[in-house]
Amino acid sequence: MRKISIYDTTLRDGAQTEGISYSVNDKVLVARKLDELGVHFVEGGWPGSNPKDLEFFQKVKKIKFKNSKIVAFGSTRRKNKRASQDPSVKALVAAGVKYVTIFGKSWDLHVKDVLKASLDENLKMIADTVKFLKSKKMTVFYDAEHFFDGYKNNPEYALKTLKAAEAAGASVIILCDTNGGTLTSDVIKIVGEVKANINTELGIHTHNDNAMAVANSVAAVEAGCIQVQGTINGYGERCGNADLCSIIPCLELKLGMYCLGNKKLRELTEVSRYVSEVSNMKQQDNQPFVGSSAFAHKAGVHINAMLKTTRSYEQISPESVGNKRRFLASELAGKTSILFKAKELAYDLTKNDKNTKKLHKLIQKLEYEGYQFEAAEASFELLIKKTLKQYKKFFELEGFRVMVEKRQDNKLISEATIKINVNNTREHTASEGDGPVNALDSALRKALQDFYPELATMHLSDFKVRVLDSKAGTAAKVRVFIESQDEKSSWWTVGVSENIIEASWQALVDSIEYKLLKERERKK
């Protein structure tokens, strides 16, 4: 079984994502998680480029990692300097790690127009830097930046740069598609040609600017590379780096290679979500393998076929990467998908049960009115509970009033007042907010907090509004989705009305009732 080593650069290249800004502590959290997952190399940062990365290397010195080697990243020495006197190279030594990756130029255009160095000097910069770091007893990986563009432009020179690194003792030479524009057919061809000329082991590092980062990485491994560099969730500058969450399952499950092993592979979905949380980025629903929609079936014909054999519309089993199959309750599908969905949520309904019929009718009616449950599983589960009489009301609304005022000085005020009744105790309170929905949410929680302190752990995390087409002669309806989360999970609820405040209210109430019902069940 071919072994492929996984090299993660989430903390360096991934940190270049628009919107990501890691603290040193965030970086440590991610490094620990990658270690747990069994990733072989974790590139922690570029100590020569910023003090935050320097601090990271200080911190991780004290941590014992079970599986991962921590790698420091840097560049070849500057032109016409000595490697031993280059501050950025010295910072690599100071980082106190045993593994370093340095990048150098393979593309003559970059040597001439960006470095403004001679082609010869560039070869010396590569050789000197590798040699110097080797003399410090470090394992040196050499990232050949822009290798594919360089090779296309001047293959002879591009190969010379690799040979310089090879002669100087680099352990692995990594071919980088830095601009992410290389086609897979070119990757296959070029990796093959390099292999015929270079004896050192090869690695691959790709970017996703042409949406081929994963295909290019996997094709490069098929063509002989033994190390893959990428990031969790494909984070990275512009369109991102190659997503390890796709590459690893492709190599293990499709090509029968060994990266982390089957057992660790089942942690992949959780790792993806964890890293997205630490990175403060929403996980993409449609992310291959690990996204929440990756195994979500909506088309009626697909669902029917899936009930016969799951291979019919799934490339792999969701469990193998720790993900879950979902059948979306969709207007395009019928009773079967409702039953399936109910089963998934652990409700035992059969096709001819009168409750099933009731539920089916109810959902048809609500979908006709504009509700949509495929993206609001918590509201769907509440409907099941209501149908099965497993539901209890937690409070009665006596009334609310939401007010937005704009004054001449342009100042805006949003305020909500609310009257509710919990077990015959009346609560009448008010709150302000950033907008009317926020004010209403905040007033409702304030009114409920003494009765249900567990609500303190949940908060509204996302909000979507869709205006539905108006039917002739009536006003347009508004459909609101609300996502809430607590420390354990997140859930979506839905509301529909001609009035956006009322639609939001419905979704808010569902989200709170869902939380309270779940807490009761946990305590049972």
Site for a copy of itself in 390-429 (CB under 8 A): 397-408, 412, 414
Closer of 135 and 301 to a copy of itself (Cβ): 301
Of positions 63, 114, 345, 456, contacts a copy of itself by CB under 8 A: 114
Q: Determine the Cα–Cα distance for residues 213 and 243; give it in Å rounded to an integer.
A: 8
The stretch among 31-39, 130-138, 162-170, 288-296 that binds a copy of itself (CB under 8 A) is 288-296
Nearer to a copy of itself, 200 or 490 (CB): 490
**Which two tokens mark 18?**
């628009």
- Cβ 167 to a copy of itself, closest distance in Å? 26
Q: Which residue carries 């270690």 as its tokens?
A: 35
Beta carbon nearer to a copy of itself, 345 or 475: 475
In whole angstroms, how far apart are CA 190 and each of 138, 152, 184, 313?
29, 9, 10, 34
The C-alpha atoms of residue 379 and residue 341 are separated, in whole angstroms, by 13
**Residue among 223, 171, 214 at smallest CA distance from 195:** 223
| HSE-CB for 487 with a 13 A CA cutoff | 5
What is the rounded distance in angstroms from the CA atom of residue 102 to the CA atom of residue 119? 18
By CB under 8 A, which span of 122-130, 202-210, 344-352, 441-449 interacts with a copy of itself?
202-210
477 neighbors 370 (Cβ within 8 angstroms):
yes
With beta carbons less than 8 A apart as the criterion, state whether 240 and 276 touch: no
Which distant-in-sequence residues (6+ apart) come within 8 Å of 50 by Cβ? none
Return the range that interacts with a copy of itself (CB under 8 A); candidates 30-38, 181-189, 197-205, 258-266. 181-189
From residue 328 to residue 347, the character string flagging contacts with a copy of itself as x (rule: CB under 8 A) and all else as - is x--xx---------------
What is the spatial order of strands in the sheet that 478-485 belongs to? 459-467, 478-485, 490-497
Residue 67 interacts with a copy of itself (CB under 8 A): yes or no: no
Position 213 contacts a copy of itself (CB under 8 A): yes
CB of 343 to a copy of itself, least distance (A): 19
Q: Site residues for a copy of itself, window 494-513 (CB under 8 A)?
A: 497-502, 505
Burial string for 252-284 (b: 16+ CB within 10 Å, else e) reads: bbeeebebbeeebbebbbbbbbbbbebbeeebb
How far apart CA 172 and CA 227 sit, in angstroms, is: 8
Buried b (16+ CB within 10 A) or exposed e, 234-249: bbbbeebbbbbbbbbb
Member of 179, 336, 355, 429 binding a copy of itself (CB under 8 A): 179
CB of 394 to a copy of itself, least distance (A): 17
| Identity of the residue numbered 108 | D
Closest by CA position to 371, among listed 265, 267, 262, 506: 506
Nearer to a copy of itself, 101 or 139 (CB): 101
Nearer to a copy of itself, 47 or 249 (CB): 249
Q: Which stretch binds a copy of itself (CB under 8 A): 156-164, 258-266, 447-455, 493-501?
A: 493-501
Size of the site for a copy of itself (CB under 8 A): 118
Q: Identity (one letter) of the amino acid at 219?
A: A
Measured CA to CA in angstroms, residue 339 lies from 34, 360, 388, 514, 517 at distances of 38, 9, 13, 20, 21
**DSSP classification of residue 232:** G
Q: Going residue by residue from 135 to 174, which x/- string records binding to a copy of itself, judged by CB under 8 A?
A: ----------------------------------------
Which positions from 450 through 479 interact with a copy of itself, judged by CB under 8 A? 462-469, 472, 475-476, 478
Which of these ranges, 32-40, 66-74, 165-173, 178-186, lies near a copy of itself under the rule CB under 8 A? 178-186
CB 343 within 8 A of CB 384: no
Q: Give the footprint of a copy of itself on residues 217-256 (CB under 8 A).
A: 218-219, 222, 234, 237-240, 243, 246, 249-250, 254-255
Report d(CA 263, CA 253) in Å as an integer.
12
Residue among 349 and 494 whose Cβ is closer to a copy of itself: 494
Scanning 79-87, 176-184, 191-199, 266-274 for contacts with a copy of itself by CB under 8 A, the matching segment is: 176-184
Structure tokens at 174: 């990594």
Which residue in the set 27, 40, 110, 273 belongs to the binding site for a copy of itself (CB under 8 A)?
110
66 vs 406 by CB, closer to a copy of itself:
406
Q: State which residue, 344 or 462, has the beta carbon closest to a copy of itself.
A: 462
**201 and 235 Cβ atoms separated by less than 8 Å:** no
Answer for which of 58, 154, 171, 293 binds a copy of itself (CB under 8 A) is 293
Shortest distance (Å) from residue 522 CB to a copy of itself:
28
> Which parts of 1-40 interact with a copy of itself (CB under 8 A)?
16-19, 21, 23, 25
Nearest distance from C-beta of residue 14 to a copy of itself, angstroms: 12
From 311, 351, 361, 426, residue interacting with a copy of itself (rule: CB under 8 A): 311
Residue selected from 200, 284, 336, 485 as contacting a copy of itself according to rule CB under 8 A: 284
User: Look-up: residue for tokens 């939001």?
Assistant: 504
Please say whether the beta carbons of 165 and 144 come within 8 A. Answer: yes
Query: Is residue 388 near a copy of itself by the rule CB under 8 A?
Result: no
Two tokens, residue 134: 């080797």
Toward a copy of itself, which CB reaches closer, 16 or 485?
16
- Written as one letter, the residue type at 365 is K
Q: How far is the CB of 472 from a copy of itself (least distance, A)?
A: 6
From the centroid of its chain, how far is CA 168? 38
